[in-house]
Amino acid sequence: MSRQLLLATRNPKKLEELKRILAPLIEVEVLGLDDIPPYEEVPESGATFSDNALLKATEAVKHSGLISLADDSGLAVDALNGMPGVLSARWSGSTRPEVSRDDANVDLVLEQLADTPDERLGAAFHCAVALVRPDGARVVRLGVMAGRLIRERRGGNGFGYDPIFVPAGYEVSSAELSSADKDAISHRGKALQAIVPDLLAALDG
């Protein structure tokens, strides 16, 4: 029987990214939550990205019996004391049907920074990836992409806060980078790369 690994997500882009990273390294079938019988997902109630990633991976193992990975990520803005942080996805709390949640979140962050001088617009994307094994062993790896915010949206790639985020050392926003270029420097790409040795050990063990 071939080895299997569950990534606790329904996001096909995240599944593809993990498959791309693992393909040259190990023979493993990567499954997503849509590939296993459905279960009630826990709310992301943790105080940190690591807590939330562990929560999701632990639930995934409990319901699947498979080695499971989960990630949690978000934007930390210096001038907002690290917020939106773990609340990034639902920062605006918007239910306006005519505005996408990403757009409403970006609008709110820009509004909150209206009086902050440009030189204090530092921010970073953070990602925690948790690996939990059926025997209970667990590890979390972190990735960060530092940068600064801009007040006008730029670029059509990516999602979330990408159009107003310029990575350190770049002049373009992360929504102007191709997905391959973004993966190479992104918080998620770094956290996934960092957990690969743990994953190889878990799958071989």
Active-site residue numbers? Answer: 72
For tokens 């639902």, name the residue: 90
* Residue 126 CB-density burial (10 A; 0-12 exposed, 13-18 middle, 19+ buried): buried
Among positions 173-192, residues that touch ligand IMP (CB under 6 A) are 186
| Residue from the set 21, 36, 89, 150 that interacts with ligand IMP by CB under 6 A | 89
Q: Are 67 and 134 in contact (CB under 8 A)?
A: yes
Among positions 45-74, residues that touch ligand IMP (CB under 6 A) are 71-74
| 143 makes contact with ligand IMP (CB under 6 A) | no
Shortest Å distance, C-beta 53 to ligand IMP: 8
140 or 161: CB nearest ligand IMP: 161
What's the gap between Cα 197 and its chain centre? 19
d(CA 21, CA 13): 12
| Residue from the set 17, 104, 133, 162 that interacts with ligand IMP by CB under 6 A | 162
For tokens 């002049």, name the residue: 171
Residues that bind ligand IMP (CB under 6 A): 71-75, 88-89, 105, 125, 158-162, 186
